Structure 1
Amino acid sequence: MHLGRRLFATSFATLATFPTPGSTAASMTGASRVIDSAIHLWSDGEAPFPWASPPPAELRSAGSPEAFLAAAREAGVGGALVVQPANHMHDHSYVSEALKAHPTFFRGMGLANPTLPPEEAIAALEALHTAGFVGVRFNAGAFEGGLCSDVGRALYQRAGELGMPVGVMAFKGLAGFVPDLKRLCSEFPSTTLVVDHMGFFRQPASGGQLGDAAANDEASWQGLLDLAAYPQVFVKVSALFRASGEAPPFVDLQPRVRQLLNSYGSSRLMWGSDYPFVLPGGFPLPEGVSSTPAALTYAQAAAVPAQWSSVPGLDDAARAALMGGTAAKLFGFGGDKECAGRGG
Structure 2
Amino acid sequence: MDYTIIDAHAHLWLRQDTEVNEQKIQTLDNGKSLFMGEIRQMLPPFMIDGRNTAEIFLSNMDYARVSAAVITQEYIDGLQNDYLWEVQHKYPDRFLCCGMVDVRKKGYLEHARALIEKGFKGIKLPANRFSLPGGRIFLTADEMMQMFKLMEEKGVFLSIDLEEGTSQVGEMKEIIGECPDLKIAVGHFGMVTYPDWQEQIKLARNKNVMIESGGITWLFNDEFYPFKGAVWAIREAASLVGMDKLMWGSDYPRTITAITYRMSYDFVLKSDLLDEEEKRKFLRSNAEKFYGFTDLVSLPYIKNMSE
CA deviation after TM superposition for structure 1 residue 181, in Å: 0.6
User: 1:68-94: CA deviations, max 9, x gaps?
Assistant: 111111100110111134355335111
Whether 1:320 aligns to 2:280 is yes
More helix by share: 1
| Counterpart selection for 1:39 from 1, 10, 25 | 10
Q: Secondary structure at the match of 2:248?
A: strand
Q: Which residue of 1 aligns with 2:26?
A: 54
CA distance in 1, matches of 2:63, 2:299: 11
Check the 8 A contact 1:108/1:132 in 2, yes or no: no
Q: Which residue of 2 aligns with 1:241?
A: 217
Provide structure 2 residue ranges, at least 5 long, that are not aligned to the other structure.
19-24, 32-42, 44-48, 301-307
CA distance in 1, matches of 2:242, 2:252: 25
Check the 8 A contact 2:28/2:50 in 1, yes or no: no
Whether 1:142 aligns to 2:130 is yes
User: 1:4-28: CA deviations, max 9, x gaps?
Assistant: xxxxxxxxxxxxxxxxxxxxxxx2x
Higher deviation after alignment, 234-243 or 98-107: 234-243
Letter of the structure 2 residue corresponding to residue 296 of structure 1 = I
| TM-score normalised by length of structure 1 | 0.72
Check the 8 A contact 2:148/2:182 in 1, yes or no: yes
| Counterpart selection for 1:100 from 86, 89, 97 | 89
Letter of the structure 2 residue corresponding to residue 109 of structure 1 = C
Distance 1:301 1:145, change over 3 A: closer
Whether 1:168 aligns to 2:160 is yes
Distance 1:90 1:225, change over 3 A: closer
Letter of the structure 2 residue corresponding to residue 249 of structure 1 = P
% identical aligned pairs = 23
Q: Which residue of 1 aligns with 2:268?
A: 305
Q: Secondary structure at the match of 1:107?
A: strand
Q: Secondary structure at the match of 1:190?
A: coil
User: 1:108-154: CA deviations, max 9, x gaps?
Assistant: 1121332344xx42332232223332211122132744111112211
Q: Which residue of 2 aligns with 1:334?
A: 294
Whether 1:122 aligns to 2:113 is no
CA distance in 1, matches of 2:57, 2:240: 33
CA deviation after TM superposition for structure 1 residue 306, in Å: 0.6
Distance 1:70 1:297, change over 3 A: same
Q: CA RMSD in A?
A: 2.3
Q: Which residue of 2 aligns with 1:254?
A: 231
| TM-score normalised by length of structure 2 | 0.80
Distance 1:319 1:62, change over 3 A: farther
CA deviation after TM superposition for structure 1 residue 337, in Å: 2.1
Q: Secondary structure at the match of 1:161?
A: helix
| Counterpart selection for 2:247 from 270, 278, 282 | 270
Whether 1:131 aligns to 2:114 is no
Whether 1:154 aligns to 2:177 is no
More strand by share: 2
Q: Which residue of 2 aligns with 1:109?
A: 98
Q: Secondary structure at the match of 2:26?
A: coil
Higher deviation after alignment, 324-333 or 71-80: 324-333
Check the 8 A contact 1:99/1:106 in 2, yes or no: yes
Aligned length, in residue pairs: 271
Whether 1:189 aligns to 2:180 is yes
Provide structure 1 residue ranges, at least 5 long, that are not aligned to the other structure.
1-26, 203-216, 281-294
CA deviation after TM superposition for structure 1 residue 267, in Å: 2.1
CA distance in 2, matches of 1:326, 1:67: 26
Letter of the structure 2 residue corresponding to residue 102 of structure 1 = Y
Check the 8 A contact 2:151/2:182 in 1, yes or no: yes
Q: Secondary structure at the match of 1:166?
A: strand
Q: More relative contact order in 1 or in 2 (CA 8 Å, sep 6+)?
A: 1
Q: Which residue of 1 aligns with 2:259?
A: 296
CA distance in 1, matches of 2:63, 2:206: 37
